Structure 1
Amino acid sequence: MKKGIVLITTLLLLIGLLSGCVSTGGGKNVTLVVWGDPDNQAILEDCFEALNAEFAKQHPDIKIDYQWSGSFDGLNVAMQSDSLPDLFWVQGNKSSAMAEMAENGFLLPLDKYNPDKSRFPAGAIEYATVNGKIYCSFPSFIDYALVYYNKDIFAEHGLEKPKTYDEFVNAAKTLFEAGITPFSLGGDFEWSRYWPIQVMAATLANNDLERIKSGETTGEFPEIEYVFEQFRDMCAKGYFGTPAGAMDESSAQMAFTNGTVAMIFEGTWNNSLFRDLDFEVGRFALPDNNGVRAAQSGYSNFNTYAISSKCKYPDQAYEYIDFLNSKEAQQIVADYMKSIPAVEGITVDDPALAEVSDFQTVNNNIYHVLSNVPTKSGRPQDVFISSVVADLMTNSITAKEAVNKIVEEMNR
């Protein structure tokens, strides 16, 4: 009899323990490892804590082990060692990386789950698509690089927000001659030193970029050469400080936020860094000499994630993708990041949104254009971002030599 009681008690204990491993829907509890973008951890951490907390409420049987480990180098090492996490952030068609991962079998196609596309514009669906298959959650916000400026410094020197490109150049000249460093530049990091060229190329070189997009990869590109010359000249004059590459990205941002410099080329993704300062911050998309302000094409990768093809729990991983595609998750991102929505039904309570939304056209992003040039072995986007921009910043090459270097790579 005692043996029977012990056996029954043991069985009840086992049932109690096992019940902790079974979800309310009858499936096993699982843990998914998710890698976020470490370069943007400072601005995204609170947002993803809120996102993951809401996901946990909706899916108590799925635990998210969220790690800020998804650097480009980290992902490359993980691919080589066959140790990718279950999910990780991707940049869609903003670079060639996701397409290469998909084509080499590292990503799980999502089409069998029939993602709801009804709320998303065609560009957002294209962002997530490689060779006709969907590989990541859809982007829900628009990002572009623009100019942030110190309104107090501008007012002290009789300057207003520039209405034309010439006014912009003259404002920088006026500030420099008054002993104010016009711009802050994170010159020792390839991306932050690139932002001025991304901004200027969209405004001043869109015709050349359209030619490249249409397959024209030889000949002269005078608009791009002009942009390169403008950047090179600003660096040589000391408009970005002396030397131009002296600061890292964080130091450059701090130089602006503490009021040391008048302007900084930055992305709308960093809006949160420029709030609640000791001076009034203004923002503007760069105008051309006809007064047309241009943004650059580009969706935010804040909430675009892919699933590893080796994920043990793909169905549960897709639940996270589906959550990121939801209006509820997008509203959480909007509340924290104050980004420009690309989908309807998302509200953003931020006075700065009117300024960052003040553009008349969306032109090409030079890096994206170069990333999509079909070449046999060339990588013009890599040569541009890692070599050409740095060489222009240090006046190591002329603007024409810089263009020729890219043309050579486009035709390799």
Structure 2
Amino acid sequence: MSKVRTGAVALVTAAALAALAACGNSEPEAGKPAASDGPRVLKLWHYESADGAMGKAWAEAIKQFEASHPGVRVQFEEKAFEQIRQSAGMILNSDEAPDVMEYNKGNATAGLLSQQGLLTDLTPEVAKRGWDKLLSPSLQTTAKYDDRGIMGAGKWFGIPNYAEYVMVYYNKDLFTKHKVEVPKTFDEFTAAMDTFVEAGVTPLAVGGAEYPAQQIFYQLALSKAQRPWVDSFQLYKGKVDFRGPEFTYAAETMADWVKKGYIAKDSAAIKAEDMGVSFMGGKYPIVVTGSWWYGRFASEIKDFEWGSFLWPGNTMSAGSSGNIWVVPENAKNKDLAYDFIDITMKKEIQNLLGNSGGVPVAADPAAITDPKSKELIENFTKLSSGDGLAFYPDWPAPGYYDVLVAGVQNLINGSRTPAQVLDEIAAPYEENLADIGG
């Protein structure tokens, strides 16, 4: 993963849970409506900000769902990305599980929960509702998991309804002020950062305490990688050499970027939200992060012009389908969950998502009229059509997100050498590979 997720965390009180549980006279079967004199309730969790593209689209989907389901109320709770990431297994293994929720895709997250029997097999609904016809093969990769929890094949355990990728955002005003052109090659990219450093400006806003810094690390590795290397690392289709040219270049270059002043040492303690806010505040000329920030930047940046471009020189970038809708095995209203997912796949909702700064998967291209949104989607199309989506570095193994956060923090603050960091991130990966019989 993949990404920044903000917003207030709505906590369910014990009293509220008790009231919900008391709606019926007896415990309903999973997925069956509870006997009740009151309205049925669809319990929905996601972690998109209200001002973001997905937040806007899903708010409209909730309205349409309630309008088309008289007597049903949506109980929406906005969660923090980190909250769900850290506690999903425990929550879904309890009677507090929602009916449908947004969850991170990949072996370490959705794959692990599917292997543990905590997610509903959606394969029959996919065939019934034609969701597979709306999703390209590359976008289906993160929706399917085999018996080992490895993505790309097997049963459907999630439905993505948007796509995402990592790019370079830049402050056009600061580029103009310092006479910096938009770089087209990697050498031009580093030369641009040199120009900012010489002017006393730290080029990159970086969040080392969460996902953003490890995505820069992965982009550097991808600059030396080909598709077979990605398939080996992500899908266990071959042996990965952590001392090979890909990861070695990434570790050594990232450490060098700190020494050159491209990345501030104190960014090791910065969270993703603070990174994004600092860029929106005009403090940094560049931030490397995902398309999930696009809508928020469009809504909140008022004091300068900004743009984006693909990481110069790379044929591949971190990216994939977006996070997926999953239906917990313990969900009490699975039929309603399927209906809600179906609404989020409607062209009307997909078009709204696209015009709000998101990357839709089933929109009408002619309906996307916002210029910035068109640029965003065109760059994604360029990546995806060229087989350029390389997933995210924390996906391969359970707990690998924290391993990479710690490793890249050590590169930024200089507490470990690049070689030591590579050994640190290799060990958990290889242990997981051995556990699954690889």
1:66-89 CA distance string (max 9 Å, x none) = 111362234233135442111111
Judged with a 3 Å threshold, the aligned counterparts in structure 2 of structure 1 residues 267 and 250 are, in CA distance, closer, same or farther, namely same
Judged with a 3 Å threshold, the aligned counterparts in structure 2 of structure 1 residues 120 and 234 are, in CA distance, closer, same or farther, namely same
Question: For the residues of structure 1 that align with 2:199 and 2:337, how far apart are their CA atoms?
Answer: 56
Structure 2 counterparts to residues 312-391 of structure 1, below 5 A: 312-336=332-356, 338-343=357-362, 345-346=364-365, 347-356=367-376, 357-358=378-379, 359=382, 361-363=386-388, 365=390, 367-368=392-393, 371-372=395-396, 379=398, 381-382=400-401, 384-391=403-410
- Secondary structure of the residue that 2:212 maps to in structure 1? coil
Letter of the 2:256 partner, please give it.
D
Asked whether the equivalents of residues 119 and 344 of structure 1 are also in contact (C-alpha less than 8 Å), the reply is no
Letter of the 1:310 partner, please give it.
N
Question: For the residues of structure 1 that align with 2:108 and 2:272, how far apart are their CA atoms?
Answer: 24
State the superposition RMSD in angstroms. 2.8
Letter of the 2:129 partner, please give it.
P
Letter of the 2:296 partner, please give it.
L
Match of 2:117 in 1: 105
Asked if residue 270 in structure 1 is aligned to residue 293 in structure 2, the reply is: yes
Deviation at 1:264, TM superposition (A): 0.8
Question: For the residues of structure 2 that align with 1:354 and 1:49, how far apart are their CA atoms?
Answer: 22
Asked if residue 142 in structure 1 is aligned to residue 163 in structure 2, the reply is: yes
1:344-377 CA distance string (max 9 Å, x none) = 5253222224543345644353635x6337xxxx
Question: For the residues of structure 2 that align with 1:297 and 1:256, how far apart are their CA atoms?
Answer: 21
Asked if residue 118 in structure 1 is aligned to residue 136 in structure 2, the reply is: no
Question: For the residues of structure 2 that align with 1:265 and 1:217, how far apart are their CA atoms?
Answer: 26
- Greater CA deviation, 189-198 or 202-211? 202-211
Match of 1:60 in 2: 70
* TM-score for both structures, normalised by structure 1: 0.80
Match of 1:192 in 2: 212
Asked whether the equivalents of residues 206 and 267 of structure 2 are also in contact (C-alpha less than 8 Å), the reply is yes
Asked if residue 177 in structure 1 is aligned to residue 192 in structure 2, the reply is: no
- Greater CA deviation, 146-155 or 205-214? 205-214
Match of 2:427 in 1: 408
Judged with a 3 Å threshold, the aligned counterparts in structure 2 of structure 1 residues 197 and 127 are, in CA distance, closer, same or farther, namely same
Percent identity, aligned pairs only?
23
- Secondary structure of the residue that 1:319 maps to in structure 2? helix
- Secondary structure of the residue that 2:285 maps to in structure 1? strand
- Secondary structure of the residue that 2:392 maps to in structure 1? helix
1:134-158 CA distance string (max 9 Å, x none) = 2222x23321111111112112222
Runs ≥4 in structure 1, deviation > 6 angstroms?
none
Question: For the residues of structure 2 that align with 1:343 and 1:45, how far apart are their CA atoms?
Answer: 17
Deviation at 1:315, TM superposition (A): 1.9
Question: For the residues of structure 2 that align with 1:229 and 1:257, how far apart are their CA atoms?
Answer: 29
Judged with a 3 Å threshold, the aligned counterparts in structure 2 of structure 1 residues 364 and 223 are, in CA distance, closer, same or farther, namely farther
State the structure with more CA Rg: 1
Asked whether the equivalents of residues 201 and 365 of structure 1 are also in contact (C-alpha less than 8 Å), the reply is no
Question: For the residues of structure 1 that align with 2:296 and 2:114, how far apart are their CA atoms?
Answer: 34
Letter of the 1:371 partner, please give it.
W
Q: Give structure 1 stretches of 5+ with no counterpart.
A: 1-22, 374-378
Asked whether the equivalents of residues 86 and 307 of structure 1 are also in contact (C-alpha less than 8 Å), the reply is yes
Judged with a 3 Å threshold, the aligned counterparts in structure 2 of structure 1 residues 293 and 112 are, in CA distance, closer, same or farther, namely closer
What is the aligned residue count?
371
Question: For the residues of structure 2 that align with 1:133 and 1:202, how far apart are their CA atoms?
Answer: 29
- Greater CA deviation, 198-207 or 220-229? 198-207
| Equivalent residue for 2:318, pick from 268, 279, 296 | 296
- Secondary structure of the residue that 2:203 maps to in structure 1? strand
Q: Give structure 2 stretches of 5+ with no counterpart.
A: 1-32, 147-153, 432-438
Letter of the 2:212 partner, please give it.
S
- Secondary structure of the residue that 1:243 maps to in structure 2? helix
| Equivalent residue for 1:225, pick from 248, 252, 261 | 248
Asked if residue 50 in structure 1 is aligned to residue 60 in structure 2, the reply is: yes
Question: For the residues of structure 2 that align with 1:172 and 1:147, how far apart are their CA atoms?
Answer: 13
Judged with a 3 Å threshold, the aligned counterparts in structure 2 of structure 1 residues 251 and 81 are, in CA distance, closer, same or farther, namely same
1:282-315 CA distance string (max 9 Å, x none) = 2111122xxx5543331112xx311122222222
Asked if residue 280 in structure 1 is aligned to residue 305 in structure 2, the reply is: yes
